[in-house]
Structure 1
Amino acid sequence: MTELHKGPRGQRRGRGARERILDAAQNLFREQGINNTGMNQLCEVANVSKHTAYQHFTSKDELITEHLRQQDPGTMPEVFDRADLTPRERLLAAFEKPATSTPGGTRLCPFIEAAVEITDPEHPARILAREYKKSVAARLTETAREAGAVDPELLGEQLALLLDGASVRTRTLGTDTDPTAAGIAATLIEHAIPETAPPRPRDSAGEMPRA
């Protein structure tokens, strides 16, 4: 398990407490899970009092939800917003291993982790995780449409399922399954998008024209 460091002493109050709490939550939730992390331990790692923690987050549930919001607020902008790549290349880039991935590539997607650990389907974090996964599939579908896919909705759902499956299998086995997932994605894309299909242009507002 990665050693978790406490925040600097003498910074219990004032600016930076919120960031330290979120950093501690990210590390602890990743290393030992959401349900196994209590507020006492989280406050100790963040070097804040419980009073300060509850000034920033009214409950652990609110902290979990904000933790998820911080993970990927733009829905993979490092992939989908890259102007230097063609739409087909952006689809493939979704399966490239992030430069910030943990050693061994064993970190589970935090949205999947929250959905697994939190049983209440109406919990704000569960709702956020569900909406995030829908947004990933939507962006994959939009990019597949730009690339000229015959059935962009189907390809988007296939690639979204592949991303999530690779994340879970990597965490379960403790081995890097990204190269295998990338190979499968390339095959799916090759069959779904004719090589001669021209990318569909966006309009001046950045939207795809309606058929």
Structure 2
Amino acid sequence: MTELEKGPRGLRRGRGARERILGASQQLFRDQGIGGTGMDQLCAVAEVSKRTLYQHFTGKDDLIAECLRRFDPDILPEVFDRTDLTPRERLLAAFDAHAPLCPYIAAAVEIPDPDHPARIYARDYKKGFAARLAETAREAGVTDPEQLGEQLALLLDGASARSRVLNTDAFATAAAIAAVLVDNAIPTAAVAVPAGAGASE
């Protein structure tokens, strides 16, 4: 057994070291912040040596970026890829599925360098999220889908930040505002009738 295969107590840790490091990082970054998490503590929680950690990641910056990449690589597929919902319903479902504590916002707040790999990934994710909202808005028949996508993305980010600051759930209020925005943006003739619903007239 080589030293690289041993944890801090000399126990063999197997091939799951990388996943344990990522799991511990996500938990610690969420619970106490990126800046508040030291590498020694991270190694202890993941049950790996520092040498093992640096075998898998070049440093903390690399680890932070990988955590963000792993968090939601396909941008809420459980909402945007659903075929049992109308486009309008998918737009509003994003407010039910969106994480109360957005790790992309948290990383951007804690990392001042705009060229940091985590900041770049967070920026790309946020742009991609707004694009998916706009694409769904287009399917719903919205006249200006890009504008609605940006409005809903801003509303979601605001709800996430407010939830974090006040330690409360702001998403129900945000969802109610979103419903008004969506319904005002969809021309009456484009509003889809859910499957199985009878005619209103």
Give 1 or 2 for the bigger CA radius of gyration: 2
Q: How does 1:57-136 map to 2 (within 5 A)?
A: 57-97=57-97, 107-136=100-129
Distance 1:198 1:47, change over 3 A: same
Residue in 2 that maps onto 1:183: 176
Choose from 188, 191, 194 the match for 1:195.
188
Q: Which residue of 1 aligns with 2:15?
A: 15
User: What SS class does the counterpart of residue 36 from structure 1 fall into?
Assistant: coil
Instruction: Give the deviation of 1:195 after TM superposition.
Output: 3.1
Q: Which structure 2 segments of 5+ residues have no match?
A: 1-6, 193-201
- Provide the residue aligned with 1:203 in structure 2: none
Q: Please report how far the alpha carbon of residue 194 of structure 1 lies from its aligned counterpart in structure 2 after TM superposition.
A: 2.0
Q: CA RMSD in A?
A: 1.7
State the Cα distance separating 1:97 from its structure 2 match. Answer: 4.6
Q: Do the aligned residues in 2 keep the contact of 1:12 with 1:49 (CA within 8 Å)?
A: no
Specify the alignment match of 1:51 in structure 2.
51
Amino acid at match of 1:70: R
Partner of 1:142: 135
**Conserved in 1, the CA contact under 8 Å of 2:79 and 2:97?**
no
TM-score, reference length from structure 2 = 0.88
TM-score when scaled to structure 1?
A: 0.84
1:10 & 1:181 partners in 2: Cα distance?
Answer: 50
Instruction: Tell me how many residue pairs correspond in the alignment.
Output: 185
Aligned equivalents of 1:29, 1:69: Cα separation in 2: 14
Identity of aligned residues (%): 70
Distance in 1 separating the partners of 2:13 and 2:55: 11
Distance 1:58 1:13 in 2: 20
Q: Secondary structure at the match of 1:108?
A: coil
